[in-house]
Chains A and B, each alone.
Chain A
Amino acid sequence: MTTDSIAPAPPAPVRTPVAPTPSVVLDAKIPDGPIEQKWEKHTFEMQLVNPANKRRYTIIVVGTGLAGAGAAAALGELGYNVKSFCYQDSPRRAHSIAAQGGINASKNYRNDGDSIYRLFYDTVKGGDFRAREGNVYRLAEISGNIIDQCVALGVPFAREYGGLLDTRSFGGALVSRTFYARGQTGQQLLLGAYSALERQVALGKVQMHTRHEMLELIVVDDRAVGIVTRDMVTGEIEAHLGDAVVMATGGYGNVFYLSTMAKGCNATAIWRAHRKGAAFANPCYTQIHPTCIPVAGSYQSKLTLMSESLRNDGRVWVPKTPGDTRSPDQIPESERDYYLERKYPSYGNLAPRDIASRAAKEACDDGRGVGPGGLGVYLDFADATRRLGANVIRERYGNLFDMYNRITGEDPYTVPMRIYPAVHYTMGGLWVDYNLMSTIPGLFVGGEANFSDHGANRLGASALMQGLADGYFILPMTVGDYLAKNRQSTVTMDHPAVSEALNEVEARTRRLMGINGARTVDSIHRELGRIMWEYCGMARTDASLRKALQLIPELREQFWKDVRVPGDGNELNQELEKAGRVADFLELGELICIDALHRTESCGGHFREESQTEDGEALRDDENFSYVAAWFTGDSPSSPKLVKEPLAFENIHLAQRSYK
């Protein structure tokens, strides 16, 4: 087969992508046997590609975060030819780089009772019992190898004076299993994966394409065989063919416009694959992180996370009286409401992310929010400073205080911080089986882009673990098994499906460039974000979701009638890049709301006001909703079809989470 790129054929009329009729049963392909033996047994049962034949296969890997760079490097090392793509100017900039806290692993270096089984249990429970046991156990099983691998690659983890690795505690666990590199763990892990990737580039095993954006998936005879990309410098639209496609393109939090994601993070790759037939699972599971710097003005472009660790010493409060505009030092103790301590006496300020976020929203909805617009709560270090002294606080949180000061111009040593929740992570994503293969054979999905391991809520320090588990250890095995069973693709550049995919992309680009309306892409994206946040944010109701489902299609129509994309398609054009992404967000946003509307229970990050306990906590409905919701979108984004994958809990007993 050829893997050369060619120029697109002359354009043909626009064709709406057609999704196949959903198969009735989604087979997760979880291996039989005791949970401790599933992965090992599966590893043995998978077929291997003869080492001498590996160079005959080409694997396309989209995205260069932990999962993508890890997979590309590992597949290259195994001997496959890899074509790697990222939209940034260098693979080192993927947004895994921004993760602060750490990476979990069940090493039990602390002798504090940790084990694979405990990490497995904590993760399933943390996900509010909406993840697959088999996948999560494997993740816990691999976690230790990840730390070994990272150290071997030169990741400078924090050490103790004796030279051993240091760990710290994180939310949702009673053991100390989080390995870290200052507040830059994601950066150091990504630079490790990046260096392994660049080594393979130097060896000629990986062909790197930076500043390339995937805009379409090529599917032939129900098999993923390639992608269409746009060169973001020249505007050239090209097809790339391979024997399998791995997508590790991250989460879709930017559908909310304001989030802690990088500005470029987008859902186009997974959405295009979805429109080609890959099921989208649990889109409504989004994680809202409680401690972010609040929105400062209408020009706000993104939100910045302040590490969760601040809640160890900071006390969260708002004034007791709505509309109290006095400066915080003028509000006496008796007129403050330390609402987390009041509502959750045992966990207090360390209540889990979803709980703390909702409580902040309630206080602000009550008119008791602080700062501009009343969308903020105080995180106050005055008590801790009195108790421990300013030097101890500086030692613990100095870099975070500096960052806060840099952004807000306020000094948190003397004035309480203002924080507010923000969209941070998406647990939903493309549906994958145990092999991380989507419902399109040959299309594999890793990292945040898939839905597999975090259920309805992700625990801190688990995203990095999952990204590297998928990239370094799982995909290199399962992609090989697929290739051994399916052999090389025979599709060449002259196949009609290739020119059809190229034409679709060309036509979409021409259409975007040709509208020439009055509204900027950003203004529509902001409006979508407001709808999502207002009606499908931290608390959702039947009525709010129906409202969103009325507004989003209207906005989408307006986009296609009235958006303005300046410049030319055949050059570096950042507005065109954004327009394509927003067009896809306008469809995905609707699916998120449809999923949220159908799931009338509350679980993890998905809170339906109709489903809560007497104390206002999330109330699951295991009888009716213990399943993965996998959606197929056909011709119309407004009427997707739902297929359920039931979740079986054979090892863990389902229980209601309580933090009182």
Chain B
Amino acid sequence: MKLTLKVWRQKNPNAPGRFETYEHPDVNEHMSFLEMLDVLNQQLIERGEEPIAFDHDCREGICGICSLMIDGVAHGPERATTACQLHMRFFNDGDTVTIEPWRARAFPVLKDLIVDRSAFDRIIQAGGFISAGIGGAPDANATLVPKPNADRAMDAATCIGCGACVAACPNASAMLFASAKIGHLNLLPQGQPERYTRVARMVAQMEHEGFGACTNMGECEAVCPKEISMDFISLMNKDRIGAALRGIRD
């Protein structure tokens, strides 16, 4: 099939960006979206043009590095699917497809479709861990964890840190990302000692990085490739109140 692509091109963080239009005559329905871009890039290089820069690595939907806004939807039209696992059979011959980077103040564009998501690492640094030094751990079965809690913690822990939630949110809020990590750790017995300081510090860092507030739009949950539920935002807010009642600040 043939596609027309409108792709955001931006030389570096300081340069102005613009959409460039490319005709792509060689799209095969079995290609992944990223392979479709690979083929275009090969043609651009052969024509003496600069290929389109985009982040990609594992290409099996787990590393979380891919970050394409496809026709205005983070990771494109398929539910629960990262851009790397999106295949071209979901597009039609003659379609015009618009490809942009994540857009958020806290995710500055580095080049073309690549953004800087180091703000997420700093949110984790603020409290997204359990302070268990290597070597001092008790036997793994010493503390029982009820299966429903372990399963729910795992639901939250599947977050791949891609940032689609931020890109989809009209407020560019990182609440779903932060709440997934807080939910994961705060649901486990091992996470209890730092439960309230964790939530206070991570939320403060999130605000400091320039992410917006949550207004319950639900766009984040709709695009999350791991289908992480907004319920974790409620859980996080409950712990924020708990932290406030205990006088715990960041």
Q: Measuring CB to CB, which residues of chain A are less than 8 angstroms from any residue of chain B?
A: 70, 73-74, 77, 88-93, 95, 97-98, 107, 109, 145, 147-154, 156-165, 181-182, 184, 187-188, 191, 194-196, 198-199, 201-202, 208, 210, 233, 260, 262-264, 296-297, 299-302, 304-305, 403, 406-409, 472-473, 476, 520, 522-523, 564, 566-567, 571-572, 574-575
The contact sample of 20 A-B pairs, CB cut-off 8 A, is A74-B135, A77-B134, A89-B65, A89-B118, A93-B58, A98-B62, A154-B184, A164-B141, A195-B128, A196-B129, A199-B131, A260-B60, A263-B57, A264-B57, A296-B30, A296-B31, A299-B38, A301-B35, A407-B85, A566-B48
Please name the residue on chain B nearest to A75 by beta carbon.
B134
Contact A145 B137 (CB under 8 A): yes
Contact A522 B38 (CB under 8 A): yes
Contact A572 B132 (CB under 8 A): no
* Most A CB within 10 A of own CB, among B48, B49, B116, B121: B121
* Cα of A374 to Cα of B137 in the assembled complex, Å: 52
Contact A93 B146 (CB under 8 A): no
B126 at the interface (CB under 8 A from A): yes
CB of A94 to closest CB in B, whole Å:
8
- What string of 1s and 0s marks CB contacts (under 8 Å) between B119-146 and chain A? 0110011101111111111111101111
B153 neighbours in A (Cβ, 8 Å) = 154, 156
A202 neighbours in B (Cβ, 8 Å) = 125-126
Please name the residue on chain B nearest to A302 by beta carbon.
B59
B6 neighbours in A (Cβ, 8 Å) = none
Task: For A90, give its contact among B51, B87, B120, B137 (CB under 8 Å).
Answer: B120
Complex A-B, nearest 3 residue pairs according to Cβ-Cβ distance, in ascending order = A163-B144, A195-B129, A152-B137
Binding stretch for chain A, among B39-47, B93-101, B216-224 = B39-47
Besides A473-B134, A520-B46, A566-B51, 5 other A-B contacts (C-beta < 8 A): A107-B140, A151-B137, A154-B132, A304-B59, A520-B42
B143 neighbours in A (Cβ, 8 Å) = 151
Contact B134 A88 (CB under 8 A): no
Please name the residue on chain B nearest to A92 by beta carbon.
B161
B53 at the interface (CB under 8 A from A): yes
Binding stretch for chain A, among B68-76, B185-193, B231-239, B240-248 = B185-193
CB of A167 to closest CB in B, whole Å:
11
CB of B42 to closest CB in A, whole Å:
5
B56 at the interface (CB under 8 A from A): yes
A296 neighbours in B (Cβ, 8 Å) = 30-31
Interface size class, chain B: 35 or more
A260 neighbours in B (Cβ, 8 Å) = 60
With known contacts A151-B137, A156-B153, A208-B121, A92–B31 Cβ distance under 8 A = no
B250 at the interface (CB under 8 A from A): no
* Cα of A24 to Cα of B50 in the assembled complex, Å: 50
Contact B144 A199 (CB under 8 A): no
* Cα of A256 to Cα of B50 in the assembled complex, Å: 26
* Most A CB within 10 A of own CB, among B55, B63, B144, B154: B63
A195 neighbours in B (Cβ, 8 Å) = 124, 128-130
B179 at the interface (CB under 8 A from A): no
B169 neighbours in A (Cβ, 8 Å) = none
With known contacts A93-B65, A163-B147, A572-B110, A149–B154 Cβ distance under 8 A = no
* Cα of A70 to Cα of B31 in the assembled complex, Å: 36
CB of B129 to closest CB in A, whole Å:
4
B137 neighbours in A (Cβ, 8 Å) = 145, 148-149, 151-152
B117 at the interface (CB under 8 A from A): yes
Contact A93 B57 (CB under 8 A): yes
With known contacts A153-B130, A154-B185, A88–B65 Cβ distance under 8 A = yes
Contact B145 A163 (CB under 8 A): yes
Contact A567 B62 (CB under 8 A): no
CB of A461 to closest CB in B, whole Å:
16
Contact A154 B58 (CB under 8 A): no
Contact A161 B147 (CB under 8 A): yes
B158 at the interface (CB under 8 A from A): yes
A301 neighbours in B (Cβ, 8 Å) = 32, 34-35, 38, 59
Contact B28 A297 (CB under 8 A): yes
Please name the residue on chain B nearest to A516 by beta carbon.
B48
Please name the residue on chain A nearest to B226 by beta carbon.
A184
